[in-house]
Chains A and B, each alone.
Chain A
Amino acid sequence: MKTIVKYVLLDLFRNRIILVYSLILAVLSISLLGLDNNPTKGLLSLLNVSLLFVPIITILFATIYFFNSVEFTELLLSQPIKRNTVLLSQYIGVSFSLATAYGLGVGLPLLFLVSGTASLILVITGILLTLVFCSLALLIFVSFKDKTKGIGIAIAAALFFSLLFDGLLLAFIYSFSDYPIDQAVIAILALNPIDLGRVLMLLQLDTSALMGYSGALFKKFLGSAAGSIFSIICMFFWVFVPLLLSVRIFKKKDL
């Protein structure tokens, strides 16, 4: 497993898209933090940028990468190696390189401009989101044979979680506003990794005016610490459930 991860990383760290992704994140971080003297506002803008771009870029890049390396996967599988090992090594390679790109692109500027717990949480949020959407990409890869279809589903999944889900949630809150639905809303929020990331960050910033409905709910019911732990645990579920499903499907997949 170590060998495959090593060589996948060797390939990916020379990949231009990864380099450009990291650079763009760095430029965005520096300019957003430099725009305002208030670091909280800068962090919030950076959070919104991350929540918008990290999921879609991660899922698209990872899906395309997995589909493009089908022939390479076949070659590896013609060696005496277990299927799980090959699949998981590729997952680790892709998610690690994307997470590093985010960590360097956003983390380094933050370290120099606004170092603190809130900045650390932002980097962790971005890395967790990267892991989640890589897992989803892997699940898409093992579930579909056709590359075009797979990429289509990947785009749809990213758009669903970043746009459609919140719309549906708002409609739900609006139509049941006469009932005590606060706890139901928290449960529903756990179904969207992007919302979990947002809550995790907003609980840190402690700017109640900017927190919005979901953040306020989390704070009210769980408090800052419990809320953060809850959302991190949910995020880990979002990483491991698709990953385990992928491994199970891949065992029986025809290549």
Chain B
Amino acid sequence: MISIDTLTKSFGKFTALKNISLQMQAGQAISLLGPNGSGKTTLIKSILGLVIPEKGTITINGHVVKTDWNYRAQIGYMPQIGRYPENMTIEQVISMIKELRKDVKRYDEELIEGFGLDRIKTKTMRNLSGGTRQKVSACLAFLFSPDIYILDEPTAGLDPVSSELLKEKMLKERSAGKLILITSHVLSDLEGIASHIIYLQDGDLMFYKSVEELQIATGEEKLNKVVAEVIKKSIPQTAVNP
């Protein structure tokens, strides 16, 4: 579904992504991991066309990202920080996005009801807490049932109940054959959701493997232990063979 070929991007002297090549398929839930500044957000933004790559191409279901902006109809994006025009109400934000997408007639409003946003829809964005704004972002990402979800730290500001609700929704979409790409530092939140793990460090792709493969290789069950184990092993290796 998403195919990335030798993607390179630098900001001034700093290289954020170095020669990344990846293939992502439908039905996968890929967890994008890496320390701060490792290029996760740059990778996501390149896929969305917000960052313009220096080298390499990204193709989404046959559409080349650079030239064909219509491919974004297939992506639901939930940003890390959701900031909206201050004086708009929740209702207005949602109806604006709906009006922008006249091509879609059926809406997935499960999350809007689940989060109880329909009860506070006349509140302005200025008066919402960070978590509630996060909920609005989540609702917008799932609104049009796209084929690809890109979620940047989706559970970071959410309360346990809402976080659980969002996780259930992600699982449901994954079993419906959608591709989900998640970045998160809270590995326990990805337990049972992630099927694959991509690990980035300093703009390099360290590994891209399925969770089962990693579980067998490390002999650990829990996702956070698996990842900790793999990182411990893989870092000295690359130090020897750069």
A and B pair up:
yes
- A-side residues, CB < 8 A to B, are 3-4, 7-8, 10-12, 14-15, 68-72, 74-83, 252-255
Q: Which 9 A-B pairs have the closest CB atoms?
A: A11-B85, A78-B77, A71-B83, A14-B87, A80-B73, A255-B50, A80-B72, A7-B96, A254-B51
CB <8 Å contact, A78 and B52: no
CB <8 Å contact, A252 and B52: yes
A71–B81 CA distance with the chains assembled, in angstroms: 7
B237 within 8 A of A: no
CB <8 Å contact, B52 and A15: no
A8–B101 CA distance with the chains assembled, in angstroms: 17
B11 within 8 A of A: yes
Known pairs A10-B92, A78-B77; A72 contacts B52 (CB<8 A):
no
Give chain B's interface residue range (CB within 8 Å of chain A): 20 to 34
Q: Mark B66-86, 1 if CB is under 8 A from A, else 0.
A: 000111110101010111111
CB < 8 Å: which of A3, A15, A71, A78 contacts B99?
A3
B97 within 8 A of A: yes
A193–B83 CA distance with the chains assembled, in angstroms: 34
Residue of A nearest to B124 (CB): A14
Known pairs A11-B88, A72-B83, A255-B45; A79 contacts B97 (CB<8 A):
yes
CB <8 Å contact, B81 and A3: no
Residue of B nearest to A2 (CB): B99
Interface set, chain B 34-55, CB cutoff 8 A to A: 45, 48-52
CB <8 Å contact, B69 and A81: yes
CB < 8 Å: which of A7, A68, A75 contacts B79?
A75
CB < 8 Å: which of B49, B85, B140 contacts A77?
B49
CB < 8 Å: which of B48, B75, B85 contacts A72?
B85
- B-side residues, CB < 8 A to A, are 11, 45, 48-52, 69-73, 75, 77, 79, 81-88, 92, 96-97, 99-101, 137, 140
CB < 8 Å: which of B71, B75, B88 contacts A10?
B88
Known pairs A71-B82, A252-B52; A79 contacts B88 (CB<8 A):
no
Which of chain A's residues have a CB closer than 8 A to the CB of B77?
Answer: 75, 78
CB <8 Å contact, B84 and A72: yes
CB <8 Å contact, A11 and B11: no
CB <8 Å contact, B72 and A78: yes
A42–B45 CA distance with the chains assembled, in angstroms: 54
A251 to chain B, nearest CB (A): 9
CB <8 Å contact, B70 and A80: yes
A51 to chain B, nearest CB (A): 30
Residue among A12, A79, A252 with max Cβ neighbours from chain B (10 Å): A79
Which of chain A's residues have a CB closer than 8 A to the CB of B75?
Answer: 78
Residue of B nearest to A254 (CB): B51
Which of chain B's residues have a CB closer than 8 A to the CB of A79?
Answer: 72-73, 97, 100-101
Which of chain B's residues have a CB closer than 8 A to the CB of A83?
Answer: 69
CB <8 Å contact, A75 and B50: no
Residue among A11, A74, A76 with max Cβ neighbours from chain B (10 Å): A11
A11–B73 CA distance with the chains assembled, in angstroms: 25
Name 25 interchain pairs, CB-CB below 8 A, sorted by A.
Answer: A3-B99, A7-B88, A7-B92, A7-B96, A11-B86, A11-B88, A12-B87, A69-B83, A71-B79, A71-B82, A71-B83, A71-B84, A72-B83, A74-B79, A75-B82, A75-B137, A77-B72, A78-B72, A79-B100, A82-B69, A253-B52, A254-B50, A254-B51, A255-B50, A255-B51
